[in-house]
Amino acid sequence: MSEPTTGPETLLSVRDLRAYFDTDDGVVRAVDGVSFEVRRGEVFAVVGESGSGKSVTATTIMGLQPTVRIASGEVLWKGRDLLQLPEAQHGRIRGKEIAMIFQDPLGALNPVHTVGRQIGEMARIHEGASRKEAMRRAVEMLDLVGIPEAAKRARMYPHEFSGGMRQRAMIAMAITCRPELLIADEPTTALDVTVQAQVLDVLLRIKDEIDSAIMLITHDLGVVAGLADRVMVMYAGRAVETGTAPQLFYRSSHPYTLGLLAGLPRLEGPRDEPLVPIPGAPPSLINVPPGCAFHPRCSFVRADGLCRQTRPELRQATAADHRSACHELEALDGVTVESVRRAGAGR
C-alpha cells in the first residue's frame, strides 16, 4: 500500500477498496483492493484497459454505483469516509467539493434544458444563487472554458453545440462551484484529436485557475504523458504500478506497463515499424487468473510457477514513490520499452 498519510496535502485517500458486483454468473471483482491518494493541486492519472476497474473506482468514490457491493475499504475525503456518509451529506460534497466530468459530453447534458440553465443549476442548488445570478455564473463559466459568445451560447440547447463545446460546457458545469477535486472519466475519448488537445488545455488551465486536483481516468497514455503528475496503472481491478509520470514512462517496472508503452505508435520510429500488441485479452473479472492476474499474457513469467500461484503485492521499484506489483521486479531492471518492442516484433 502507498504510505497512508492524512496530512494536509492529501485530499482523497482510498484504502484497500474492493467493489464487487454480484451477478448470476458470479461475483465480478471490478475493483479488488486498490489504494491510492490524490493530493491537492496535482493531476493523478488512473490508466488501464476497458474493464480494468478504473471507471468503477471513480464512480464508487462518487457513490454512483447503486448495485455495487463494497466488500472492504474506505474512501477518505479530507479525513471523512465517503462510503459511510448518509446520502444527503454525500450529495452536498458531490458537485460542490468533488465534481465529475463524463466521457460522453452529449449524453451527459440534458437535452431539454438550455446549457446555461444546466450550468447555473449548480450554483442554484449548492450555493442558493438566484435565477439571474445563476445565469450570470453560467455565462462566466462558459467564458472561462473558452466558449466564444458565451452569453448567447448559454441560451442554446446541447444539440446546438459541437462535441468539443459540449465537453467544455460539461467542464464548466463541473467547475461552477470550484471543486477541490475534479474526477475526469475519459474526458477526451469521445472527441477527435484536435478537439482533445483543446479540451485538455482547458482542463489544465482551469485546474490552475480554481486550484483543484484532477483525477484523470483514461486509457490514453498520450494524454497521461502530457498532463499527469502521478500515475496508477490498473489491471484486472488492481493497481500494478504506481509512480510519477516520468518514472512510469522512462523506468517502467511492470511487464504490463512496458507492454502498453510498446504498443504505442511512435512518430520518430521507422515508418514500417510494426506495433507490438500485448498478446491475449484482459481476463474476465469473474474468473481472474490465480496468482498474478497478468501472468497468462506476460512474457517475463517465472518458470518456477510463482507468478501462477501467488499474487504479487506492490513493492518499491526504482524509487521510494515508485511501486510495482511484479515478482520479477529485479529481472526487469535492464528491460526497456525498446527491448520489449524488439522482442515482440521478433515473435
Partner 1 sequence: MSALDRPAPEAAPRPSLPEAAPRPSLPEAAPRPLWLDAWRRFRRNKMAMAGLTFLVVLVAAAILAPWITRYGPSERIEGAYRQPPSWEHLFGTDKIGRDVFSRVLYGARVSLRIGLASTVVSVGIGLLLGAVAGFFGGIADTLIMRLTDVFLAIPYIVLAIAIVAVAGRSENSVILVLGLTGWLGLARIVRASFLSLKQLEYVEAAHALGYSRSRIMFRHILPNAVQPVIVYGTVLIGGVILSEAALSYLGVGPQEPTPAWGLMVSQGKGDLAGAFHLLLFPGGAICLTVLAFVLVGDGLRDALDPKLT
Point out which residues bind partner 1 (CB under 8 A): 59, 62-64, 91-96, 99-100, 102-104, 107-114, 121-122, 125-126, 146-149, 152-153, 155-157, 160, 164-165, 170, 173-174, 194-195, 197-198, 201-202, 205
If the CB atoms of residues 182 and 329 are measured against partner 1, the closer one turns out to be: 182
Smallest distance, Å, CB 98 to partner 1?
9
Q: Considering beta carbons, is residue 94 or 295 the nearer one to partner 1?
A: 94
Determine contact, residues 260/331, Cβ cutoff 8 Å.
no
Which helix (H) or strand (E) covers residue 234, if one does? strand 230-235
- Which conformational region is residue 224 in: left (phi greater than 0), alpha (psi within -120 to 50 degrees), or beta? alpha
Q: Rank residues 114 and 252 by Cβ distance to partner 1 and give the closer one.
A: 114
Quick one: 148 or 270, whose CB is closer to partner 1?
A: 148
Distance of closest approach, residue 330 Cβ to partner 1, in angstroms: 38
In the complex, minimum distance from the CB of residue 230 to partner 1, in angstroms, rounded to a whole number = 21
Give 87's contacts (C-beta < 8 A, 6+ positions apart). 63
- Which residues sit opposite 239 in a β-bridge? 234
Nearer to partner 1, 154 or 293 (CB): 154
Nearest distance, CB of residue 140 and partner 1, angstroms: 16
User: Does an H or E element contain 285, and which?
Assistant: none
- Sheet (strand 98-101) strand order: 98-101, 181-185, 213-218, 43-47, 230-235, 238-244, 322-324, 315-319
Q: Cβ 141 to partner 1, closest distance in Å? A: 13
Minimum distance, C-beta of residue 67 to partner 1, in the bound complex (Å): 10
B/e letters for 151-160, b = 16+ CB within 10 Å, e = fewer, are: eebbeeebee
Q: How far is the CB of 5 from partner 1 (least distance, A)?
A: 27
Least distance between partner 1 and beta carbon 27 (Å): 21
Under 8 Å CB-to-CB from 69, ≥6 apart: which residues?
19, 20, 21, 22
188-216 burial: b if 16+ Cβ within 10 Å, else e: bebbeeebbebbbebbeebbeeeebbbbb
- Tell me which residue of 335, 150, 331 sits closest to 259, measured CA to CA: 335
> Which DSSP symbol is given to 114?
-
Toward partner 1, which CB reaches closer, 9 or 149? 149
**What's the CA gap between 110 and 321, in Å, rounded?**
42
- Compare residues 161 and 300 and give the one whose CB is closer to partner 1: 161
* Burial classification of residue 46, based on how many CB atoms lie within 10 Å of its CB (0-12 exposed, 13-18 middle, 19 or more buried): buried
Residue closer to partner 1 (CB basis): 76 or 93: 93
- Which residues, listed in sequence order, are joined to residue 13 by a DSSP beta bridge? 37, 76
Instruction: Please report how close the Cβ of residue 138 comes to partner 1 at its closest, in angstroms.
Output: 13
Let me know how long the chain is. Answer: 347
Nearer to partner 1, 79 or 111 (CB): 111
